[in-house]
Every structure is written in structure tokens, then in C-alpha cells.
A and B are shown apart, each in its own frame.
Chain A
């Protein structure tokens, strides 16, 4: 898949996982891997970007004698998901446009 496109999709996927409930790095990768290929090292920049754009907030909880960082989606993050879904209509239009043009030999 195109790198830029995938980057954008992954951001939304991370937000979607968090929409279901707060989560932490390892679990997020696990959840997302069922639908799109993702490694831990791609997750870090995505989380950072989302945090910088205030789409998610963080907090730490103790787990087995160490701290685990949890991520929680913010209202801004929820809006991002909604925007993505709203955009889907225009995206399918683009898909149909490209697909139709591709049929000409």
C-alpha cells in the first residue's frame, strides 16, 4: 500500500481502537494487526503525532511493578474519526473515477 495513504489510515485505526476503550502500545498493535499490517516502530511516531495534535491524551498505570502508558482518545480524536468517515463518500467517488478510467485500453 502507498506509504502516505497507509500512514493516514493507521492514524485513524489507532483512534478507532482507542474509541473502544483506553489501551497501551502492545495491545494497540495487536488489535490493529488483525486489519492492517503494522509494526511497533510505526506506532510510535503515529502516537506522537496524535498526541501533538491533541487527538489523544496519556496517563500511566502500574502493571506488574512497572509503569504502563495508556492512551485515551479526546473529543478532537473522535472528530477526526467522524471526519474520516464523512470523507469516505468522496473517496469512493475518486475510486470509481479511477476504476472507470482504467477500463479504457
Chain B
């Protein structure tokens, strides 16, 4: 195989690479061939030393998780361009981001409001029951039936307190679970996948 054949196979196999990568590869092997020839090898021998171009290409393509790296490692001018685009596009992505954050807050509110209402109800019943109970003996001296009714309603409020307390207790775990689950899901959206990092 001569040099020309070697490079035509290499170019064909590396078609999917960006032009710059391809050129770099070609320069590298070109230089190796020239150097071996200067060392006294013939062109054929120098090419043969390199091995099969198809398998060389395969190895390079296999390596090309690096291709993504070269995309990520964009040149400085690209970075400036990206920054400008980000700023120019901010009215669009900014409002979208804002909406997303607000919706997320709404979902949190939605999860927490039921238990909050129940807890407030529960506490106010407790407070009411205590006040009614303390006041009822005094009322009984003035007007016994009315005082009795008041004591009864105090017990009723106490009952409602215990009932709602039970409900709050059983809902508590669910609410916490829901919050943690939602937070985890949101975080996972932003976490970078680091699978192919070496």
C-alpha cells in the first residue's frame, strides 16, 4: 500500500469526524511517514509500519468520546458568541425559567396547603377548648344551663382537635415524602450526567 491509498482509506473511515480533526490526524500520519522515510525506509515500508488504516480509524473513532470534549471545549470566539446569544435570548428563556420556578412553587404550595389548614384547624380547636373549659365554671355560677352547654362545646372542640391531630399525623409523612420526591426529581433535571467522564 502506498501513501495515497493509506490516506484515502483513512479519510473514508473518518468521514464522520469534523474536518479539523481529520486534518490533524492526516498531518500526524503524514509526518510519521516522512520521518520514517528520512530514516531510510521506503514509502511502502513506512506505510506498512503504521498498520491497517481502517483499524487505525476505528481506534480513533473509539477514542472519540473526545469528540464531545472538543465540542465542549469550544474556542474563545464561540464562547463570546454563546454569551451574547444568552443575553439576547434572555427575554425568552428568562420568562420561561421564571414560569417554571413559579409552577414549581405552586406544586410545593399545593402539597403543603392541606396539611397547613388541618394543622391550623386543629390548633384553634385546642385553643378554643381550653378557653371554653376554663370559662365554663364561672358561667355555671351565673347561669347553670348555659355554662353546661359551654362545657359541652369545649369537649366537642377537644374532640375535633384530637380527630384533626390524627389526620395531620397520618398526612405528615405523605407530605414530607412528596416534598422530598419532588425536590429530588427537580435536582436530577439539573445534575449533569457524568457517565463518560474518565
Contact = CB atoms under 8 A, between A and B. Distances in A.
Interface of A: 24-27, 29, 39-42, 44-45, 47-49, 52, 64, 66-69
Contact of B63 (A29, A45, A67): A45
A41 B56 contact: yes
B12 interface: no
Given A26-B36, A40-B50, 19 more contacts: A25-B28, A25-B35, A26-B32, A27-B35, A39-B49, A39-B50, A40-B49, A40-B51, A41-B56, A42-B59, A44-B29, A45-B60, A45-B63, A49-B66, A52-B69, A52-B70, A52-B73, A64-B34, A68-B35
Contacts of B59: 41-42, 45
Interface size class of B (residues with CB under 8 A): 20 to 34
Interface of B: 25, 27-29, 31-32, 34-36, 38-39, 49-51, 55-56, 59-60, 63, 66, 69-70, 73
Contacts of A29: 32
A58 to B, nearest CB: 10
Contacts of B73: 52
User: Which residue, A24, A40, A49, has most C-beta atoms of chain B within 10 A?
Assistant: A40
B27 A69 contact: yes
